[in-house]
Structure 1
Amino acid sequence: MRLDRRVLAACCAAALFTGGVATVTAAAEPAKVSVRSAVSPIGIPGRGATVPFQEIEAEDAATNGTVIGPDRVYGQLPSEASGRKAVTLDAVNEYVEFTLPAAANSMVLRYSLPDNAAGTGRDATVAVEAGGQKLTDLPLTSRYSWFYGGYPFTNTPGSNPHHFYDESRTLFGQTLAAGSKVRVKVTSTASSPTFTIDLADFEQVAAAGTAPAGALNIVTGYGADATGSADATSAVQRAVNDGAAQNKPVWIPKGTFKVTGHIIADRVTIAGAGPWHSVLTGDGVGIYGKYVADGGPSTGVTVKDLAVLGEVEDRNDSAQVNAFGGAMSNSSIDNVWMQHTKVGAWMDGPMTNFHIRNSRILDQTADGVNFHQGVTNSSVTNTFVRNTGDDGLAMWAERDDNVKNTFSRNTVVVPVLANNIAIYGGEDIAVTNNVVSDTVTNGGGIHVGNRYPGVQGNTAVQGTFDLSGNTLIRAGNSDYNWQFGVGAIWFNGLNEPIDATINVRDTDILDSSYSAISFIEGSVRGVNFENVKIDGAGTFALQIQAPGSATFKNVTATGIGYANPVYSCTGANFTINNAGGNGTWLNGTPYCGPWPSPVYGGGGPGPSPTATPTATPTVTPTQDPGTGNLAAGKPVQASSFTDVYQATNAVDGNASTYWESTNNAWPQTLTVDLGTSRQISRLVLKLPPPTAWEARTQTIAVSASANGQNFSSIKAAAQYRFDPAQANTVTIPVSSAQTRYLRLTFTANTAWPAAQLSELEAYPS
């Protein structure tokens, strides 16, 4: 984040391009399947955004292409890939083939095409097929990628190439069943010599929604062109003005609408038919509140269920080409897809009570979100952010304090510059239950600092900061200016010392690229680390380069790349308060010397077995065959499962592992074979520990069988609430005759559209 007021716009569309050729088909030729080597940021229990798609990394799919990486060196193609690996296809009939873990009717493909000699990009096409039948030709482009030189970068080919990837989306026109094979296959290299595929997201997109009662329709009422040919800016603005005056919502029906400037919104709801169906697109498209200097902030604005897809191809910090901007109080953005603008939402205060929820922010040239000066009581929650050109989510208290804002339950992947999440100044800020991964350069996973203009005095870091429940994966990296590593979590008191209460609790720092935790510049005091797991770091667990102090309690560190886990040349100027439970890693004399080369667990120059993050251990279940848990370790089958969340997780004795079914495919069953006939008196059902998962209610029926074929009900379907206050545990009394097989049938879940269970325990009469 490097910008001034009224600056920065988001980038990128999921859109329609023209050109060269690649295809998605069913496999026939022999393929090699890569072994999963990287922890995924998707689906971590209780943390990160709840996304509607199933993600498959190209390196984990079947392919006859070339797997590139792992590599974390800035400027290399795999360094910007999710998981630091991708697959390059460079010949006709090379492909990546994805096996669907759940039914889907759409795909988002993350890819990279090489730039052309002029730096203006090239267009190409891949064909998407399933079962040997073509679904569509998917247009790809490099027009929105490939920046060069130093900040703020240019499109002229030269030194320092980066920002390699882009994303394109498509609807299949049909639903493919779970297990279907979708192939992306090159059919021509005339328009592009190579196609590098990073991943694909598969989703079951719902049908277009219907208009709210009494809504003003921009097509039927104002003549907006739904084909995207004619400019609809005036029509949309007139509808928005009338909606505010008449207290009626504005309806953006299914279609593509060309918008070439800002839509100014105040006291109005703008609703679409869904972000795959209602699209505002064009050069300069954006929905803005009124700036305070212009009579703002706007208030009472709701924008929901649509997409804002821009056409920003470069980074111009003076251009106002963001998906959302200005100032909006008492307002919300809900279920909005933002792509190919400069910033997803650059909000200039003073303003209050502004919330972004349930959204996707992709392929920006700068930040994903920035709460800039005087933003209070505002939040970003349950939002997925990927491939930003600067900080993924940021707050910048320039000249006017940011107070009581929250970033919670978001997933931020591959910011190609700066931090996944950054807090520049502010008071009483919360960054909780997020997942961040794959920082590329000049930043870390989560950063708190008194940095950038205007962050000092009454706008400096103050009060209490809550950084709890976060997972950081392959975060932190090198800074090409400083020439040393930046921590996955890092602090900087450049403008003035930080002296606040900053609580870092219940946090997992996995496979950090350099240090796990670092203190750089100025002075930092008041940081408290508690219940933090460091599992893999390229260099150090703790990197101290500035005076200050920090307290450590129950902080474990394993898989550290350098022999000494602590770096410090500050001597007594930094106080480590060891509050216990940390093992021995904090006890020795810190290393002070030349910077060592990192040793990565998930990507070279390593690998080193000592730096590989360990999976959650499976606890060997124990049981008393007479009175104990009869289901422990027994054979179990599920009607479906997603990714690694297989049925055996429900009987392994470890509440941190769990079974999860396919999404949106009710009913779902889980059946356990007790091995012999027994009479059962009660079942105990568990979800992951209360520190990991929030409350939810699942509808469950219980049936039993003597032969595994004919099941009869022993407990009718009922709603069971899994509540952290009760350890996410439910007890179901049952009364059964002699039975060998027990079956749970799930038909609803209030927190996720699938069945979920950590442990099924069965106890005898």
Structure 2
Amino acid sequence: MTPPPPPPRPGRILRRSLSASLALALTALAAATTLVVAGAPPAAAAAAVPAPSPLNVPGRGATVPFKEHEAEYAATNGTLIGPNRLYGSLPSEASGRQAVTLDAVGEYVEFTLTAPANAMTFRYSLPDNAAGTGRDASIDVRVNGTQLKSVPVTSKYGWYYGGYPFNNNPGDTNPHHFYDETRTMFGSTLPTGTKVRLQVSSTAQSSTFTIDLADFEQVAAPIGKPAGALDVVSDFGADPTGAADSTAKIQAAVDAGRTQGREVYIPQGTFKVQDHIIVDKVTLRGAGPWYSVLTGRHPTERHKAVGVYGKYAFQGGSSNVTLRDFAIIGDIRERIDDDQVNAIGGSLSDSVVDNLWLQHTKCGAWLTGPMNNFTMKNTRILDQTADGVNFHYGVTNSTVTNTFVRNSGDDGLAMWAENIPNVNNKFTFNTVILPILANNIVTYGGKDITISDNVMADTITNGGGLHIANRYPGVNSGRGTAVSGTHTAARNTLIRTGNNDYNWKFGVGAVWFSGLNEPIQGATINVTDTEILDSSYAAIHLIEGASNGLNFNRVKIDGAGTYALQIQSPGRATFTDVVATNIAQSNPIHNCVGAGFQITRGSGNSGWYADPPACTGVWPDPVWTNGGVPGGGGPGGPTDPPGPTDPPEETGNLAQGRAVTASSHVDVYGAGNAVDGNPNTYWESRNNAFPQSLTVDLGSAKSVKRVVLKLPPQAAWATRTQTLSVLGSTDNATYNTLKASAGYTFNPSSGNTATVTLPGTSARYLRLAFTDNTGWPAAQLSEVEAYTS
């Protein structure tokens, strides 16, 4: 069951990404592949530009159970692609920004084991099909030249298009999120030195298959049922074959475990689960994440899918829950932020998640407080459509540690103090790689936060490696949710982090700070004992309002595609023992705010300071060296793909996150609720005071052809008709009527949504002028969305 949001200010199910991304043109990528072997292949050759690995940083990051092998360093007769960091290109989303493409029968990538292994996970990309629904194929696994098995592969969990929140329409712009992962067991332990080959045998289903990497590990035997535990199969009749829906039976087992004070055991098998399992005061454990798998999605109600959730705080919350030793592998193929299709969710105080495998859901874990004392550890989170983990809405004294995150669709690990403070949370000893959008690790607001001993690598677009910010709705000092207290960012390593933001059209730094909602002040932010390696653009970056209280101590910057420091907002910072080398620009600082940014220099600094700094009207092209090796594929380099460097016309909802004003509002129902991307929050004008209006600044003139208006979707919002007109302006002074006044009906049975078509007249400011509402004596709107098509 998907719980309703708590009144009167419901927590958002999913936040908006950093900004709606726009794409570079994508060079042609062919379709998927069926793979097996035929005859003797051509001789193999190793390839690639050396690049630092995020899994080779002593003492930092997650301790993982596998040995990783990059395809570009393996034996292959395929084609090396990359290195390249240009968003929208296939190598830009590969680990190390390089991979190998196979496009003919007999082509292969062959890995030589460096440790015994009985299982493999490999990361790959198949092209989309013409309908945008993906295609299926298979790949042959050969061991020392002998065929072992064919493993199914698919592109149905990749390939998104358009602007945020994206779609599956190949006719749209901005293709991205190309890669997926699959796993298989060999049936026996292969010794060190064994050659494991992935090879093409047929191109009937597709013409190309791209291999990024393979992770090899020794999986232990299944864990037996603990003494006294309830068994979801033998005691409650759940189906381990996955043929029948086991949702109700597992839920019954969990409920019995709570009332009887007994653990609940998921034995070896694949269990179809088509809705949330609600847990409270219970331990749910499996035979191991390679053996006990929960999977599934409701066949018709697509907002229902497998997940293990605590009760929400407004329902009393859940506590004393342990989830361990199983996998949740979902079937989420799109991003719809209102759908609660996360692997772990709800409120889970005094609870532990340990040794789970979370894949193909929307978020690995979206925890909605208020809640306290939650720990996630020893977990793998792969191939999400949105965040890996998000501590949202009053999460305190909670930790994510020793967790591996790869290929999240949004922030890898995030804390978002929306309206209720996040306090004393920690992200420690995690490895976060390849977030497709936004940041590797971020905290939006919060008090006394620790982000330490992590490794972050390969940010794709619209974000950096580490971000500390007063950003996103509900983050401000008035609610006590702004950045405050002491933030500790210690002993982190960042590799190839930061990337271009195609709304701003300049780079985001590897470590960056933002005071967008209000200045960061009264807080202490200590960045210590940190390595910032081969940054895609700047190493350290300030933007959007002032950021004060920054202290950089014992920081190594080795390689930056543009600057060591990119200063675009005021602030104050101290630098001690900060050493920068291999900075692409001859002047290592970009600063156009002058004395507004105050630098205090301690001892031991070198390589990052200049007086005067650079202040130019043109952002330089980055120079990427892949760890100091020339020819790393920067713009204009030999591996640069053809095509434009400017994004196409903006798509997606143009109004979301934009500046908005209203003629009036009541209580907490302010105008910002109408552009926050959450249909459960709403703007309401003063009662009995028509006419009323809401005005959105789109940032620049747009040819808007369609406006979508929403009210909260709950049935309690009974059918009503609002009478309104739509006006447009280029200067916020003179307004012209784009749509004459008419009545628009909002019916909860059809989503409480109304669409207004417009002639496409160019306007920067859109104004909705309300004169009547049959359901309430005020104007009401939960979302206004503007589109150019």
Q: TM-score range by the shorter chain?
A: 0.7 to 0.9
Find the counterpart in structure 1 of residue 85 from structure 2.
Answer: 72
Find the counterpart in structure 2 of residue 635 from structure 1.
Answer: none
Equivalents in 1 of 2:114, 2:284: separation in Å? 35
Match of 1:495 among 517, 522, 527: 517
Letter in 2 for 1:239: A
Equivalents in 2 of 1:349, 1:403: separation in Å? 12
Deviation at 1:213, TM superposition (A): 1.1
Equivalents in 1 of 2:14, 2:544: separation in Å? 27
Match of 1:605 among 634, 645, 649: 634
Match of 2:191 among 160, 167, 177: 177
Deviation at 1:165, TM superposition (A): 0.3
Matches within 5 A, 1:241-256: 241-256=255-270
Find the counterpart in structure 2 of residue 226 from structure 1.
Answer: 240
Find the counterpart in structure 2 of residue 520 from structure 1.
Answer: 543
CA contact (8 A) 1:113 1:196 kept: yes
CA contact (8 A) 2:40 2:106 kept: no
Find the counterpart in structure 2 of residue 369 from structure 1.
Answer: 389
CA contact (8 A) 1:524 1:547 kept: yes
Matches within 5 A, 1:639-658: none
Matches within 5 A, 1:321-720: 321-457=341-477, 458-499=480-521, 500-593=523-616, 594-602=618-626, 603-605=632-634
Equivalents in 1 of 2:548, 2:423: separation in Å? 20
Find the counterpart in structure 2 of residue 708 from structure 1.
Answer: none
Matches within 5 A, 1:76-225: 76-157=89-170, 158-225=172-239
Deviation at 1:291, TM superposition (A): 0.3
Any idea what the Cα deviations from partners look like across 1:195-233, whole Å, max 9, x if unmatched?
Answer: 011000001111111111100000000001000110000
Deviation at 1:146, TM superposition (A): 0.2
Find the counterpart in structure 1 of residue 667 from structure 2.
Answer: none
CA contact (8 A) 1:9 1:322 kept: no
Any idea what the Cα deviations from partners look like across 1:380-407, whole Å, max 9, x if unmatched?
Answer: 0000000000000000000000000000
Match of 1:293 among 290, 311, 314: 314
Deviation at 1:584, TM superposition (A): 4.9
Deviation at 1:134, TM superposition (A): 1.8
3-state DSSP of counterpart to 2:149? strand
Deviation at 1:583, TM superposition (A): 2.1
Equivalents in 2 of 1:88, 1:395: separation in Å? 37
Equivalents in 2 of 1:92, 1:587: separation in Å? 56
Find the counterpart in structure 2 of residue 736 from structure 1.
Answer: none
Equivalents in 1 of 2:40, 2:123: separation in Å? 21
Deviation at 1:135, TM superposition (A): 1.8
CA contact (8 A) 1:26 1:131 kept: no
Equivalents in 2 of 1:192, 1:522: separation in Å? 49
Q: 1:27 to 1:172 in 2, by over 3 A?
A: farther
CA contact (8 A) 1:515 1:542 kept: yes
CA contact (8 A) 1:403 1:428 kept: yes
Find the counterpart in structure 2 of residue 633 from structure 1.
Answer: none
Cα root mean square deviation, aligned: 1.8
Equivalents in 2 of 1:168, 1:575: separation in Å? 50
Q: 1:341 to 1:532 in 2, by over 3 A?
A: same
Letter in 2 for 1:125: S
Equivalents in 1 of 2:48, 2:620: separation in Å? 29
Deviates more, 1:43-52 or 1:29-38: 29-38
Any idea what the Cα deviations from partners look like across 1:309-330, whole Å, max 9, x if unmatched?
Answer: 0000000000000000000000
CA contact (8 A) 1:25 1:182 kept: no
Match of 2:283 among 269, 287, 290: 269
Equivalents in 2 of 1:149, 1:34: separation in Å? 34
Deviation at 1:29, TM superposition (A): 3.6
Equivalents in 2 of 1:146, 1:161: separation in Å? 6
Deviation at 1:374, TM superposition (A): 0.5
TM-score, normalised by the number of residues in structure 2: 0.74
3-state DSSP of counterpart to 1:556? strand
CA contact (8 A) 1:550 1:576 kept: yes
Find the counterpart in structure 2 of residue 617 from structure 1.
Answer: none
Find the counterpart in structure 2 of residue 709 from structure 1.
Answer: none
Matches within 5 A, 1:56-67: 56-67=69-80
Q: 1:545 to 1:9 in 2, by over 3 A?
A: closer
Equivalents in 2 of 1:225, 1:256: separation in Å? 8
Deviation at 1:101, TM superposition (A): 0.7
Equivalents in 1 of 2:16, 2:349: separation in Å? 20
Find the counterpart in structure 2 of residue 710 from structure 1.
Answer: none
Any idea what the Cα deviations from partners look like across 1:137-166, whole Å, max 9, x if unmatched?
Answer: 111100000000000000011210000000
CA contact (8 A) 2:68 2:213 kept: yes
Equivalents in 1 of 2:62, 2:148: separation in Å? 29
Any idea what the Cα deviations from partners look like across 1:315-365, whole Å, max 9, x if unmatched?
Answer: 000000000000000001000000000000000000000010000000000
3-state DSSP of counterpart to 1:400? coil
3-state DSSP of counterpart to 2:141? strand
Structure 1: tracts of 5 or more residues without a match? 11-18, 609-765
3-state DSSP of counterpart to 2:446? coil
Deviation at 1:308, TM superposition (A): 0.3
Letter in 1 for 2:168: N
Equivalents in 1 of 2:602, 2:11: separation in Å? 42
Q: 1:64 to 1:114 in 2, by over 3 A?
A: same
Question: How many aligned positions are there?
Answer: 598
3-state DSSP of counterpart to 2:582? strand
Equivalents in 2 of 1:71, 1:20: separation in Å? 23
Q: 1:581 to 1:606 in 2, by over 3 A?
A: farther
Q: 1:380 to 1:361 in 2, by over 3 A?
A: same
3-state DSSP of counterpart to 1:313? coil
Equivalents in 2 of 1:581, 1:20: separation in Å? 54
CA contact (8 A) 1:123 1:192 kept: no
TM-score, normalised by the number of residues in structure 1: 0.77
CA contact (8 A) 2:394 2:421 kept: yes
Letter in 1 for 2:125: S
CA contact (8 A) 2:156 2:333 kept: yes
Equivalents in 2 of 1:379, 1:24: separation in Å? 47
Letter in 2 for 1:477: N
Equivalents in 1 of 2:460, 2:607: separation in Å? 31
CA contact (8 A) 2:11 2:368 kept: no
Q: 1:305 to 1:434 in 2, by over 3 A?
A: same
Deviation at 1:585, TM superposition (A): 3.1
Deviation at 1:606, TM superposition (A): 6.5
Structure 2: tracts of 5 or more residues without a match? 1-9, 18-31, 298-304, 627-631, 638-789
Match of 2:55 among 29, 34, 42: 42
Deviation at 1:21, TM superposition (A): 1.9
Any idea what the Cα deviations from partners look like across 1:229-285, whole Å, max 9, x if unmatched?
Answer: 100001100000000000000000000000000000000000100000000000100
CA contact (8 A) 2:48 2:80 kept: no
Letter in 2 for 1:7: L
Equivalents in 2 of 1:584, 1:326: separation in Å? 47
Q: 1:9 to 1:212 in 2, by over 3 A?
A: farther
Any idea what the Cα deviations from partners look like across 1:162-202, whole Å, max 9, x if unmatched?
Answer: 00000010011111111100000001111121001100000
Q: 1:376 to 1:225 in 2, by over 3 A?
A: same
3-state DSSP of counterpart to 1:243? helix
Q: 1:138 to 1:4 in 2, by over 3 A?
A: farther
Q: 1:338 to 1:9 in 2, by over 3 A?
A: farther
Identity over aligned pairs, percent = 62
